[in-house]
Structure 1
Amino acid sequence: MLIDSTKIADFCQVLRDGGQKVVFTNGCFDILHAGHVRYLNKARSFGDCLVLGLNSDASVRGLKGPNRPINNEQDRAEVVGALGCVDYVVIFDEPTAEALIAKVHPDVYVKGGDYTIETLPEGQIVQKYGGKVELVQLVEGRSTTNVINKIQAGAEQ
Structure 2
Amino acid sequence: MKTPLTKLQAKIFDSSESAKSIVKGWKSNDKKIVFTNGCFDILHQGHVVYLAKAASLGDKLIVGLNTDASVKRLKGENRPLNGERERAIILAALGFVDLVVFFEDDTPYELIKELKPNILTKGADYNPKNIVGYDIVMENGGSVETIALEEGFSTTNIIEKIRKTL
Asked if the contact 2:116–2:136 (Cα under 8 Å) also holds between the matched residues in 1, the reply is no
- The alignment partner of 2:13 has SS state of coil
Residue segments in structure 2 that go unaligned for 5+ positions in a row: 1-10
Structure 1 gaps of 5+ residues are: none
Residues 108-119 of structure 1: pairs in structure 2 closer than 5 A:
108-119=119-130
Note the alpha carbon deviations across 1:110-152, whole angstroms, 9 max, x for none.
Answer: 1111111232231222112211111001111101111001001
| Regions of 4+ moved over 4 Å | none
Counterpart selection for 1:62 from 65, 73, 88: 73
For 1:3, give the aligned amino acid. Answer: F
- Which residue of structure 1 aligns with residue 35 of structure 2? 24
* Contact 1:2–1:89 under 8 Å retained in 2: yes
Percent identity over paired residues = 48
Q: Partner residue of 1:74? A: 85
Q: CA RMSD in A?
A: 1.0
> What's the offset of the Cα at 1:154?
1.1
Answering whether residue 111 of structure 2 is matched by residue 100 of structure 1, we say yes
SS at structure 1 position matched to 2:117: coil
The answer to whether the Cα contact below 8 Å between 1:117 and 1:124 also exists between their aligned partners in 2 is no
Within 2, Cα distance between the matches of 1:142 and 1:124?
Answer: 30
AA aligned to 2:42 is I
TM-score, normalised by the number of residues in structure 2: 0.90
Please list, as runs of the form range in 1=range in 2, the aligned pairs for 1:1-157 lying within 5 A after superposition: 1-5=11-15, 6-155=17-166
* TM-score normalised according to structure 1 size: 0.95
The answer to whether the 8 Å contact 2:36/2:120 transfers is yes
Structure 1 SS opposite 2:114 = helix
- Distance in 2, matches of 1:150 and 1:85, equals 29
The aligned amino acid for 1:17 is S
Residues in 2 aligned to 1:29 and 1:57: alpha-carbon distance in whole angstroms: 11
